[in-house]
Amino acid sequence: MARFSRPSTPRLLYTLYTSPSKTVQSPSPSPSPSPSPASSLLLGSFHLRQFSSGNLARAKEDKEPWWKDSMDKLRNIGISAHIDSGKTTLTERVLFYTGKIHEIHEVRGRDGVGAKMDSMDLEREKGITIQSAATYCTWNGYQVNIIDTPGHVDFTIEVERALRVLDGAILVLCSVGGVQSQSITVDRQMRRYEVPRLAFINKLDRMGADPWKVLNQARAKLRHNSAAMQVPIGLEEDFKGLVDLVQMKALYFHGSSGEKIVIEEVPADMEALVTEKRRELIEVVSEVDDKLAEAFLADEPISSTDLEEAVRRATIAQKFIPVFMGSAFKNKGVQPLLNAVLSYLPCPIEVSNYALDQTKNEEKVALGGTPDGPLVALAFKLEEGRFGQLTYLRIYEGVIRKGDFIFNINTGKKIKVPRLVRMHSDEMEDIQEAHAGQIVAVFGVDCASGDTFTDGSVKYTMTSMNVPEPVMSLAVQPVSKDSGGQFSKALNRFQKEDPTFRVGLDPESGQTIISGMGELHLDIYVERIRREYKVDATVGKPRVNFRETVTQRAEFDYLHKKQSGGQGQYGRVCGYVEPLPAGSPTKFEFENMIVGQAIPSNFIPAIEKGFKEAANSGSLIGHPVEHLRVVLTDGAAHAVDSSELAFKLAAIYAFRKCYTAAKPVILEPVMLVELKVPMEFQGTVAGDINKRKGVIIGNDQEGDDSVITAHVPLNNMFGYSTALRSMTQGKGEFTMEYKEHSPVSHDVQTQLINNYKGTHAAE
């Protein structure tokens, strides 16, 4: 293709201009030329190949790293919204205009094909998106990775994981429904992860569409500092096109699928409105951008370039949210939105990402985000594909190549990359290498989601290694015996996908117990087993993971003696149990303080094992005993009859005997609950928390909402999401995370013990 200059040519670079009929090479003697719009059509891969071999030295001379152009032309975006705001429809149109698909299918289309991004059967049937599929497309010479995120509140772990991976996002709002409860949740998550965003007001063709009402709602409810970047020409059935406030041009969308854009002058009857809206846009942006403010206050004319640069600066700094409009279903306004993604959302180098250095006690390290650094990649999503596990990786730094060895920091394993692919919903294209900022998928790599991969030179993780303990358990079992295989396959997969989801066996009843972070969390998984693996499961009553502990020191002196023809059993242990001091890192401590050889040292591990086993189920309600210190001070052994088993049994019986004397108490998990409810419901909600034996520790006001923080025992939080919805007309929401285990009140303890005794007596 292009004839690149030899080193002997003094600083001369040939820029390639392409036109349909001919190729012209023009010498450009400038020291560091910027790529022309036409040459920007020569995309990433060509650029990379040419630079990566012979031109590295030249690139260094020009002070432009080889990856600079490729990184500037990369966008990682997510599209999130309230359910049914037209998010998947918008993605479908984006894929159509960028040439990734050649015909458009609707989400609940009559043709039965369904939208491209909804690749799970269940999603097509219900018209909702559950898993975030990652899709890649190109627009105007830029590469755009789109992550389609779920809109349902129940799938928040997916949304949060997707948001960590994005550099920017589009928040879709419905022009009729406006800002709905889920829009608020998604927006809060974006703010938490500091994602710059654009807003897109969709469905302007519907009856009752009012974009200005929605814009004001976004300012009031979401606290957005936002302004319209476009003005619609007509609304509802008369919606014809848009006026671009930056360029001051009218855009009309012609052709069967709106693919032909006709640019005309602003209609005369709209000039006054357009001038007013442009002034409003400049005012809002100049409040947060000093450079534009100077020009605005000096009453200088503001060119479209100045305004565009100011909007980009303010958007990336998360001080401003530009608002675009259109109707994805009617194919209007999607291309300008794509241009806005390129113009206003950041490329990977403009976003600061942090890793946690495991060698320095999880200290935060800023990542440069360049392909020159060591490899750091995050596995943010797993899928069971036809060829085994497919792992989606977001590369934060460095380069990954097919055949390279990479290290999984979370497990410490070294893995070879067998196959590297770029994903398009559920189809894939093989690639040889990928660099920082890109989203790729790898096959045949065994890992869990949230694992971090590096090239072995650094020990960084992208997420904290400290996974919270599960606080709630359910017993599940498949209805038919034949589906056991599928059932266990499902549980294994979910455990890998979600670190907070655990599976175990109840030693007494032999049932499978699943544990997680709350009721909703476990319900979703039971439902997914039913849908994705076609296994009907029966669900037992939810169980809270209680613990027991001792409150005072108690002595033990126990002799275990059994004589039954042949070798008997003999073991005597003396000592005491006591509670561990508050804040100690371990939950069980064993100390041997025997002086001399009263018990031969080879039996000591058996005694420790016995105490550990006994502490696995306390005698109050059969739950594990924590914060316990066992000290062995004396004992006796028999030359013939003493054995490891004898001492282990002696330890178990000694523990049971002295346990009641140590005044044991039951500990229950206490949750830190954060509620966000409109002010008018504050009294009702606070009263309900007190009824649930909660302690309110904070009450702040955030706009029209009241934010209540409380510590509530988990045992009293069952069915709370339903109760909260009915108390607040569906406007309230809450988050709940584990805080600590703390002692229960005396009456609750008596009740729990009686329940436990009752069930055991019945058995």
Q: Return the domain boundaries, the chain.
A: 67-344, 353-461, 473-540, 547-662, 667-749
The residue assigned the tokens 């140590």 is: 662
pLDDT for 307: 87
Mean pLDDT confidence for 641-664: 88
Q: Is the model's pLDDT at 381 over the cut of 70?
A: yes
Read off the pLDDT band of 132 (50, 70, 90): very low
pLDDT of residue 698: 87
- 369 versus 620: the higher-pLDDT residue is 620
The whole-angstrom separation of Cα 676 and Cα 51 is 53
- The pLDDT, as a whole number, for residue 259 is 80
Query: In this predicted structure, what is the pLDDT of residue 1?
Result: 42
Q: What is the CATH number of domain 473-540?
A: 3.30.70.870
Predicted pLDDT at 8? 36
Q: Between 16 and 605, name the one with better pLDDT.
A: 605
SS3 readout for 349-383 = HHCCEEEEEHHHCCEEEEECCCCCCCCEEEEEEEE
Cα gap 723→327, rounded to integer Å: 37
pLDDT of residue 322: 92
Measured between alpha carbons, how far is 159 from 148 in angstroms, rounded to an integer?
9
Burial of 759 (0-12, 13-18, 19+ CB in 10 A): exposed
Q: Residues 262, 254: contact at Cβ < 8 Å?
A: yes
Annotated binding site for GTP: 81-88, 148-152, 202-205
Q: Pairing relation of β-strands 547-550 and 695-702? A: unpaired
Q: d(Cα 720, Cα 518) in Å, to the nearest integer?
A: 10
Q: What is the CATH number of domain 353-461?
A: 2.40.30.10
* Coil, helix or strand at residue 389: strand
Q: How many CB atoms neighbour CB 75 within 10 A?
A: 22
Phi, psi for residue 332 in degrees, rounded to 5? -125, 130
pLDDT of amino acid 688: 92
Average pLDDT score over residue span 251-275: 86
Comparing 180-189, 362-371, 552-561, 707-716, the range with the smallest average pLDDT is: 180-189
Residue written as token pair 């671009």: 244
Cα–Cα distance, 548 to 742 (Å, whole number): 10
Residue type, 303: S
Q: pLDDT (tens digit, 9 = 90+) per residue, 141-176?
A: 888 888 766 544 444 555 566 677 788 888 888 888
Most confident range, picked from 449-463, 548-562, 691-705: 548-562
Burial letters for 729-749: b for 16+ Cβ neighbours within 10 Å, e otherwise?
eebbbbebebeebeebeeebb
Q: Is 679 exposed, middle or buried (0-12, 13-18, 19+ CB in 10 A)?
A: exposed
CATH of domain 667-749: 3.30.70.240
CA angle 747, 741, 549 (to 5 degrees): 70
Percent of the chain with pLDDT over 90: 4
Residue type at position 328: A
Residue 179 DSSP label = S
pLDDT given for residue 157 in this prediction: 59
Task: Tell me 572's DSSP state.
Answer: E
Residues 6+ apart with CB under 8 A from 142: 73, 74, 75, 342
Supply the pLDDT for residue 12: 33
pTM, to two decimals? 0.63
pLDDT digit string (tens) for 410-466? 888 888 888 888 876 556 778 888 888 888 888 878 787 778 888 878 888 776 555
CA distance 114 to 123: 9
DSSP 8-state class, residue 29: -
* pLDDT at residue 710, rounded to an integer: 92
205: three-class secondary structure by DSSP: coil
**How many Å separate Cα 210 from the centre of its chain?**
33
At residue 321, the 3 state secondary structure works out as: strand
What is the distance between the alpha carbons of residues 442 and 450, in angstroms, rounded to a whole number? 15
From the list 277, 85, 83, the residue with the least C-alpha distance to 176 is 85
Helix/strand number for the chain, H first, E second: 19, 40
Q: Which residues, 6 or more positions from 588, have their beta carbon under 8 angstroms from its beta carbon?
A: 612, 615, 626, 628, 629, 630
Both tokens assigned to 78: 């997510």
The confidence band for 44, taking pLDDT boundaries of 50, 70 and 90, is very low
Cα–Cα distance measured from residue 151 to residue 252, given in angstroms and rounded to the nearest whole number: 30
CB 181 within 8 A of CB 164: no
DSSP-derived letter for residue 625 is: B
Residue 596 corresponds to which tokens in the numbers above? 């001399």
Q: What is the domain class of 547-662 according to CATH?
A: alpha beta
Most confident range (mean pLDDT) of 51-55, 242-246, 358-362, 636-640 is 242-246
Q: Using one digit for the tens of pLDDT, what is the confidence trace for 396-407?
A: 888 888 888 888
Nearest by Cα to 723 from 651, 760, 675: 675
- So what's the pLDDT on residue 695? 92
- The least confident of 36-40, 240-244, 504-508, 689-693 is 36-40
pLDDT at 312 over 60: yes
Residue 113: both structure tokens together: 């094909």
Output DSSP code: residue 456.
S
Q: Considering only residues 98 and 197, tell me which one the structure prediction assigns the higher pLDDT.
A: 197
- What is the gyration radius of the CA atoms in the chain, in angstroms? 32
In this model, does residue 180 exceed pLDDT 60?
yes
Cα 23 to its chain centre, rounded Å, is 47
pLDDT for the residue 115: 53
**Helix orientation angle between 181-192 and 156-165, rounded to the nearest 10 degrees:** 40
Which secondary structure element, helix H or strand E, spans residue 51, and what is its range?
helix 44-52
CB-hemisphere CA count at 13 Å for 320? Answer: 26
Q: Give the DSSP per-residue string, 76-87.
A: EEEEEESTTSSH
Name, in order, each residue with C-beta under 8 angstroms of 238's C-beta and a sequence gap of 6 or more.
none
Cβ neighbours of residue 301 closer than 8 Å, sequence gap 6 or more: none
User: For a pLDDT cut of 70, what percent of the chain falls above it?
Assistant: 80
What pLDDT sits at residue 4? 38
Out of 272-281, 365-374, 530-539, pick the least confident. Answer: 365-374
In this prediction, residues 211-229 reach a mean pLDDT of 86
Which pLDDT value is given to residue 330? 85
CATH of domain 67-344: 3.40.50.300
Report the sign of the C-alpha dihedral through residues 748, 522, 134, 449, in that order. Answer: positive
Is the distance from CB of 231 to CB of 239 less than 8 angstroms?
Answer: no
The reply to whether 667-749 shares the fold of 473-540 is yes
- Does residue 102 register a pLDDT over 70? no
Which of 93-107, 323-337, 538-552, 648-662 comes out lowest in average pLDDT? 93-107
Q: What is the mean pLDDT of the chain?
A: 77
| b/e map 276-307, b = 16+ CB within 10 Å | ebbeebbebbbebbeebbebbeeeeebeeebb
How far apart CA 755 and CA 622 sit, in angstroms, is: 11
Specify the DSSP class assigned to residue 289.
Answer: -
**pLDDT category of residue 544 using cuts at 50, 70 and 90:** confident
Least confident of 303-307, 493-497, 575-579: 493-497
Lowest model confidence (mean pLDDT) among 167-171, 463-467, 503-507, 580-584:
463-467
Query: What is the pLDDT, as a whole number, of residue 427?
Result: 67
Cβ atoms of residues 698 and 708 within 8 Å: yes
Helices (H), 394-512: 484-497
Q: What is the pLDDT of residue 83?
A: 64
C-beta separation of 336 from 233 below 8 A: no
Structural contact between residues 323 and 364, judged by C-beta atoms closer than 8 angstroms: no
Q: Is the pLDDT of residue 27 over 50?
A: no
Residue 511 banded pLDDT, cuts 50, 70, 90: confident
